[in-house]
Chain A
Amino acid sequence: MKNLKNIFTVLLVTLVAFNCSNDDDAAVAGPTGPSGPDFTGVYTQQDQMGRPAVNTVFVSSGSKDMFNTTVPSNQNAAFQSMFEANLTGLSPAYANPGDANALGLDAATFTGLLATDVLNVSLDGTTTFYDGTNVLTGRTLADDVITVELLLIFGGEDFSENPTLSNDNVDANDKAFSTSFPYLASPW
């Protein structure tokens, strides 16, 4: 009986060894299959991003890693009050009762939107961060997202307040984008 057990062990080891070596050989991708590169294992979160510059601008310095490892569905509860405090610190007019940005959002509502850091994207037509008509329906390469965000932070109800702070006057990329895949310009 002892010998039988040993033989079984040897067979098992052989089987495992055969599977391992076979993993390295073939060409088809399969994470746990018998062929192709080995994609097994657990991958753990490092960084995340939805809308541009949200972590940079609204999350306090000691909390940036935590923000990157909080799932979006938990971000509002964990970060909305921090966002509101930082927004009001940055643009004090938001502290005035009834003050709002050009989207009609007051500090609590605006930061409530931003704290859940996902990009809202329409599957039905124009995709843009903001084009004067459509708001938060995606983000194209050419969208001047920084100026949009500066306007919403500093520009007041009609984009007219703090004009020297609400536009960085860099309105386009330094290389033209392609209308075809992969859309981004060739590297410098």
Chain B
Amino acid sequence: MKNFKFILGVGVFAAASFFFLSADHIDAPAVQGGTSDITDFYAFQGENTDNLVFVANVQGLLSPAATGNASFDENVMIEFNIDNTGDNVEDLVIQALPRDGKMYFFGPVAPGTTGLSSTVIGSGPQTVVDITSYGTSPIVQTTAGISAFAGPRDDPFFFDFNQYTAIIGGTASGFNNPGTDTFAGTNVMSIVVEVPKSMIGGSGTINTWVESKSK
């Protein structure tokens, strides 16, 4: 009976999630496979421990052959949201927009309005970096303590998604050991920005998330 209950549980789960990939790759119908599809988000202490690093990846599962032709969409803003007052409403944003081979970063700066609609805020720090081309060394721009990068990178995410799909589909009872990284050998379009912690609250805990917004 216990086993039956478990299988039933997996069945319900399968209906809920069958076609959708992790971590956030292809997570929802409106964005999957498009230029605004966020695949992953990371936030961690920098090599310089006075800094925090934000990473947003978009356009997942790029094959090496497809990566050279991949580009950021000039109508899509990637916006890092930072809540440093504990209410899960953004107090600061870092906005990234591509134009003519460069990625423009605005912020950290207070947003004009919080929520689902954004305009570019030009009153705070601005950092501009050439977008790195496929097959070349990463171009990094550091301006007033803020470092920026944009371009193709190896997808840092790892997961045996195919075996997970088999489990959910009822054709496997568990993971293999060793497993197989479904994301091995695939690339993403990556935006990385490192900022002094003093610009985003200094100490304590922030709540942060990333959004894609289109014009």
**Chain A residues close to B by CB (< 8 Å):** 29-33, 37, 39-50, 52-57, 59-61, 64-65, 67-69, 71-73, 86, 88-92, 116-128, 137-141, 144-146, 163-165, 167-175, 177, 179-188
- A-B residue pairs, 6 tightest by C-beta: A164-B174, A64-B28, A52-B23, A43-B213, A31-B120, A89-B12
Residues of B within 8 A of A121 (CB): 43-44, 52, 205-208
Residues of A within 8 A of B170 (CB): none
Cβ-neighbour of A118 out of B46, B83, B97 (below 8 A): B83
Do residues B38 and A49 form an inter-chain contact, with CB atoms below 8 A? yes
A11 CB to nearest B CB, Å = 28
Do residues A43 and B117 form an inter-chain contact, with CB atoms below 8 A? yes
Do residues B45 and A182 form an inter-chain contact, with CB atoms below 8 A? no
B133 CB to nearest A CB, Å = 11
Residues of B within 8 A of A139 (CB): 41-44
Q: List 17 A-B contacts (CB under 8 A).
A: A32-B122, A44-B213, A46-B212, A49-B24, A52-B23, A52-B24, A56-B21, A56-B22, A119-B43, A123-B52, A139-B41, A141-B42, A141-B55, A163-B174, A169-B160, A187-B152, A188-B67
Do residues B40 and A168 form an inter-chain contact, with CB atoms below 8 A? no
Within residues 166 to 207 of chain B, which ones have a CB less than 8 A from any CB in chain A?
167, 173-181, 183-187, 190, 192, 194, 197, 200-207
Do residues B17 and A56 form an inter-chain contact, with CB atoms below 8 A? yes
Cβ-neighbour of A53 out of B24, B77, B174, B185 (below 8 A): B24
Instruction: State whether the Cβ of B144 lies closer than 8 Å to any Cβ in chain A.
Output: no
Given A73-B88, A92-B6, A183-B192, residue A43 in contact with residue B175 (CB < 8 A):
no
Size bracket of the B interface: 35 or more
Main secondary structure of the interface of A (DSSP, over half): loop
Residues of B within 8 A of A89 (CB): 9, 12-13, 16
Given A42-B118, A47-B37, A71-B115, residue A140 in contact with residue B42 (CB < 8 A):
yes
**Chain B residues close to A by CB (< 8 Å):** 5-6, 8-10, 12-13, 15-24, 27-31, 34, 36-38, 40-47, 52-53, 55, 62, 64, 67, 76-77, 79, 83, 87-89, 97, 99-100, 104, 106, 114-122, 126, 128, 134-135, 138, 140, 147, 149, 152-154, 156-160, 163-164, 167, 173-181, 183-187, 190, 192, 194, 197, 200-215
Listed residue (B19, B45, B152) with the most chain A CB atoms within 10 angstroms of its CB? B45
Do residues A182 and B192 form an inter-chain contact, with CB atoms below 8 A? yes
Chain B: CB-nearest residue to A149? B22
Listed residue (A44, A145, A167, A170) with the most chain B CB atoms within 10 angstroms of its CB? A170
